[in-house]
Structure 1
Amino acid sequence: MLRIDAHQHYWRYQPADYPWIDDGMAVLQRDYGPAQLRPWLQQHRLDGALVVQARHSEQETAWLLTQAPQLGGVCGVVGWLDIASPHLAQRLERRHPLLRGVRHLVQDEADPAGWLERPAVHQGMRLLQRQGYVYDLLVTHRHLADAARFAARHDDHWLVLDHLGKPDIAAGARHWARQIAPLAAMPHVACKLSGLITEAPGGRWQAAQLLPFFEEALAAFGPQRLMFGSDWPVCLLAGDYPQVYRLCEQALAALSPSQQAAIWGGSACRVYGLTESDDGSVS
């Protein structure tokens, strides 16, 4: 079974391109690419990774599509396209085999709930799903109810909730479980076990504080709809790659080998349609 990091990022850092990286995030104010990620994947016996957009730019998406194969092994891209554009159909005609999904930084919209209700967004989503693209949903715990309504309208293909919907860690895992239940009840919604350490207040976290969120995610989604993601290099704000990996490893220790295999790669391969050909490329 292939082992996949289902969520990480590359960028060539320019302050104007990544305004969400502020002066308190000095570790992110540099370039990150396949060469820096590859040793971590090798160390943890991972066969590949999905690189995910970090800004609203088709230019960034095009660049990610050139960078992803340099990692070697299995790779794919969750890029950005303006799904509300009247020209979306023409954009999708130029299908790149590595583009497996699309994401929008909904959490950064002035009105995330309003964005999720835009008629043009719904029209674009219907087109994306008909053509087999996964949609990565990036919201915080404040808009999980809005995300559930959105997901209920778009059930023709997979939706993947990034970072467990960015829980309110201080409110506790049981509170988050109640929030997430409507999304988890939909069989076309999967979830990434990613991004938790940076949601802890001040980036100060302990495993005992976060492991209950993994437990609730397992109860809500089951292993077949969960996938490991490092959120590298954003995770560096609160910990390093080995710490993120060990936290997930600890959370899954009691599962059967087949359940663990699903989360470490099987779910990502199934949801995003990743396979490995003889030359190590996505086919």
Structure 2
Amino acid sequence: MIDTHVHFWNFSPVKDSWITDEMSVIRHDFTPKNLTRTFNDLQISGCVAVQASQTEQENEFLLTLADQSELIKGIVGWVDLKSPDLGSRLTYWNNFKKIKGWRHVLQAESAEFILDPAFIGGIKQLKNFGYSYDLLCYHNQLESIIKLVDQVPDQPFVLDHCGKPDVKSQDLKTWTQNIKLLAENPNVLCKISGLLAEADWKNWKEIELFNCFDVVFEHFGVDRVMYGSDWPVVLVSRPYQDWFNLVSKYAERFSSSETKLIFTDNARRFYKL
């Protein structure tokens, strides 16, 4: 099994200012060593390490960790997609085969940024190198994400954290409509990940998560959904095992071959692991 969404960092209050005091459980360092026992217990063979800092030094940091740990099967890094020097940067990073794709924290950006022709032009260069792109956004940004994807229809995309629906309020109508539209592009996949952070951390109910899972599987299908944990962020709500068990319980409705797609095969195909 593959966990398609894991973060690692050496905690810095300045660099990681998004980790607030109420998230104290993750205000320290996280490395592959912190995951080894959990992965062994759950028979997870590896992960995709996703950028948590928006510098090219982040790529170097994750590559160093990958050299030290066999748990990291692939990396989603960061590069300035609006840079006029993007082509040469992609050519450079293409020497490091563990880097499978790229991500920018679009949830912190405006619609104008997401639809900036320079940004979209950068994404259009990724296919030349065989790179994927992770879409990180809130549910109220999905309209802009759909417009972005429509302009690069042949680019492999994956939506992180199901587009961050409002799990807590269960106001899912507009999110559901936009998930349906986004899923109409066959080159877009979706990660079942990160939803506990969008719920009431300590008092969520299983049905609230399963309502979101229902929408994702209805529109993306088992062949375009991937399991991810969003570890260590998931720890603000529950231990890693609780999230894994929750997704596994939902997956009991699928056949063994369909479950293998969700936990293994789709990740290997999409990220070329």
Instruction: Give the residue type in structure 1 aligned to 2:234.
Output: C
1:99 is aligned to 2:99: yes
State how far apart, in whole Å, the 1-side matches of 2:141 and 2:71 are. Answer: 36
1:13 to 2:11 alignment: yes
- Structure 1 moving runs of 4+ over 4 Å: 172-175
CA offsets per residue over residues 78-116 of structure 1, 9 Å max, x none? Answer: 01100111111111112110000100001112x2x1111
The residue number in structure 1 matching 2:229 is: 230
What do residues 123-159 of structure 1 show as CA deviations (whole Å, max 9, x unaligned)? 1111112211110000000111110111111122310
Question: What is the aligned partner in structure 2 of residue 200 from structure 1?
Answer: 199
Secondary structure, counterpart of 1:156 in structure 2: coil
Cα distance 1:197–1:24, how it changes in 2: closer, same or farther (>3 A)?
same
The 8 Å contact of residues 15 and 53 in structure 2, kept in 1 or not, is answered as yes
Aligned to 2:248: 249
Tell me by how many angstroms 1:202 deviates: 4.6
Note the 1:156-195 alignment, pairs <5 A. 156-169=154-167, 170-173=169-172, 175-195=174-194
Distance 2:67 2:209 in 1: 33
Given that 1:38 and 1:71 are in contact with CA atoms closer than 8 Å, whether structure 2 keeps it comes out as no
**Where does structure 2 lack aligned partners over 5 or more consecutive residues?**
none
Q: How many residue pairs are counted as aligned between the two chains?
A: 270
Please name the residue that 1:88 is paired with: 86
SS at match of 1:218: helix
Q: How much identity, in percent, do the aligned residues show?
A: 37
Contact 1:197 1:203 in 2 (8 A): no
Unpaired stretches in structure 1, ≥5 consecutive residues:
275-283
Secondary structure of 2:22's counterpart equals: coil
In the TM superposition, 1:100-115 aligns within 5 A as: 100-109=100-109, 111=110, 113-115=111-113
Structure 1 residues 17-96: aligned runs within 5 Å? 17-73=15-71, 75-94=73-92, 95=94, 96=96
Paired with 1:225 and 1:179, the residues of 2 have a C-alpha distance of: 16
| Aligned mates of 2:98, 2:201 — CA distance in 1 | 36
- The CA distance in 2 between the partners of 1:97 and 1:44, in whole Å, is 27
Can you list the C-alpha shifts for 1:228-259, whole angstroms capped at 9, x where unaligned? 00100000011110001011001110101111
Displacement of 1:172 in angstroms is 4.2
Does the aligned pair in 1 maintain the 2:201–2:236 contact within 8 Å? no
Q: Deviations over 1:27-86 (max 9, x none)?
A: 111000110011111111111100000111111111101112433156110011001111
Which string of whole-angstrom CA distances, capped at 9 and with x for unpartnered residues, describes residues 185-244 of structure 1? 110000000001110135531212211211211111011110000100000011110001
- SS of equivalent to 1:6: strand
How far apart in 1 are the matches of 2:113 and 2:103? 13
Q: Relative contact order (alpha carbons < 8 A, sep ≥ 6): 1 or 2 greater?
A: 1
- Counterpart residue type for residue 98 of structure 2: L
**Structure 2 residue matching 1:19: 3-state secondary structure:** coil
* Cross-structure match for 1:149: 147
Query: Partner residue of 1:212?
Result: 211
Structure 1 residues 17 and 201: alpha-carbon distance in aligned structure 2, compared to 1, 3 A threshold: same
1:57–1:189 CA distance, 2 compared to 1 (3 A): same
Aligned equivalents of 1:164 and 1:203: distance in 2?
A: 20
C-alpha contact 1:5 1:48 (8 A) present in aligned 2: yes
- Is the Cα–Cα contact under 8 Å of residues 162 and 191 in structure 1 kept in the other structure? yes
> What SS does the aligned partner of 2:62 have?
helix
Q: Secondary structure at the match of 1:201?
A: coil
| Cα distance in 2, alignment partners of residues 261 and 105 from structure 1 | 29
